[in-house]
């Protein structure tokens, strides 16, 4: 809104002054340049009117008005904080057992795929399957696990098979997380991975998270601490989630279906 006023102190030349903002007009009023009888006009009006016709509506706010505005701003800020806390509380992070169930399903799928590859390699003579089977039986009966494991790479084709297994595992987790934000195991229990800001992790994030998960797997030698921190972290993050800045959360439809009964009843009453 643009304001103009008639400067009565000017006796020769253009007396109309402007355009000004309402704050500038108020400053002129404080300076005495505009009085109650000074003619003013703003866009949208048909005729010029004395400032006295506008001063009640457009005069500078008094202390009471400022106090009301401050109270309103503080109230809005308080409501925003409450809404943020409520949103955080309703945002359901996947816990240890849900994630464990997804991990088991994924490893069953990987086991089936790798079992098929092992069958092919054994049938073609690339892997010495009888020797491998004997070594695995020895591993199950051996009191020294380290010694039994150390013999596995010496078996023909085992190193190649382990390399293929590692590549398949990496591709499995990276591709599914990059494209769908979830592996088949996570899809089954209605959870997915996202960034700390709630966005898709993409190819870079999926790759970084998988590399970090290798570090978490290494903590299995230390009672699985990299996984167990899920139980105490408020956002239910494992070690690789901390490093990769990701979270595992329930899908939107799953969160709605698992909403508290009282909230569901309230919503049905409103409808």
Q: 42-68, pLDDT tens digit by residue?
A: 888 889 999 888 877 776 555 555 666
The pLDDT assigned to 23 comes to: 85
Quote the CA–CA distance of 181 and 203 in Å, as a whole number. Answer: 10
User: What confidence score (pLDDT) does residue 87 get?
Assistant: 55
Q: How far apart are CA 253 and CA 165, in angstroms?
A: 34
Q: What token pair was written down for 23? A: 């704050």
pLDDT of residue 255: 55
> What tokens were used for 130?
């009888």
Provide the mean pLDDT of the chain: 83
Residues constituting the chain:
271
pTM for the complete prediction? 0.58
The proportion of the chain whose per-residue pLDDT surpasses 70, expressed as a percent, equals 81
pLDDT at residue 82 is higher than 80? no
- Evaluate if residue 266 carries a pLDDT over 50: no
250 bridge partner residues = 191
> What is the pLDDT, as a whole number, of residue 68?
67
Q: In sequence order, what are the beta bridge partners of 246? A: 195
Interatomic CA distance for residues 171 and 27, integer angstroms: 69
pLDDT(184) > 90: yes
Q: What is the pLDDT of residue 169?
A: 95
Residue partners of 242: CB distance under 8 A and separation at least 6: 229, 233
Which run of H or of E encompasses 174? helix 158-180
pLDDT at 271: 46
Task: State pLDDT tens for residues 204-251.
Answer: 999 999 999 999 988 877 778 888 888 888 888 999 999 999 999 998
DSSP string, 175-189: HHHHHHSS-HHHHHT
Q: At what angle do helices 158-180 and 96-123 cross, to 10 degrees?
A: 140
Task: Give the pLDDT of residue 80.
Answer: 75
pLDDT digits (tens, 9 = 90+) for 117-157: 999 999 998 988 888 888 778 767 765 556 666 777 888 88
pLDDT of residue 206: 95
When pLDDT is cut at 50, 70 and 90, the band that residue 11 belongs to is confident
């Amino acid at each position: 809104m643009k304001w103009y006023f008639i400067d009565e102190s000017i006796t020769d030349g253009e007396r109309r002054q402007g355009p000004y903002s309402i704050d500038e007009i108020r400053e002129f009023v404080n300076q005495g340049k505009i009085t109650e009888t000074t003619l003013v006009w703003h866009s949208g009006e048909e005729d010029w009117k004395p400032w006295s016709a506008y001063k009640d509506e457009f005069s500078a706010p008094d202390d009471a008005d400022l106090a009301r505005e401050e109270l309103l701003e503080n109230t809005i800020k308080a409501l925003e904080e409450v809404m943020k806390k409520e949103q955080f509380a309703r945002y359901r992070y996947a816990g240890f057992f849900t994630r464990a169930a997804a991990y088991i399903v994924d490893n069953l799928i990987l086991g089936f795929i790798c079992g098929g590859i092992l069958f092919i390699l054994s049938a073609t003579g690339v892997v010495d399957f009888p020797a491998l089977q004997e070594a695995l039986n020895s591993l199950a009966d051996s009191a020294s696990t380290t010694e039994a494991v150390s013999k596995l790479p010496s078996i023909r084709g085992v190193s190649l098979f382990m390399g293929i297994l590692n590549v398949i595992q990496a591709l499995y987790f990276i591709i599914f997380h990059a494209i769908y934000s979830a592996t088949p195991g996570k899809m089954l229990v209605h959870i997915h991975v996202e960034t700390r800001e709630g966005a898709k992790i993409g190819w870079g994030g999926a790759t970084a998270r998988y590399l970090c998960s290798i570090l978490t797997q290494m903590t299995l030698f230390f009672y699985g601490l990299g996984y167990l921190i899920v139980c105490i972290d408020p956002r239910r993050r494992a070690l690789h989630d901390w490093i990769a800045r990701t979270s595992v959360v329930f899908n939107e439809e799953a969160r709605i279906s698992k909403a508290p009964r009282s909230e569901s009843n309230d919503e049905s009453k409103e409808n």
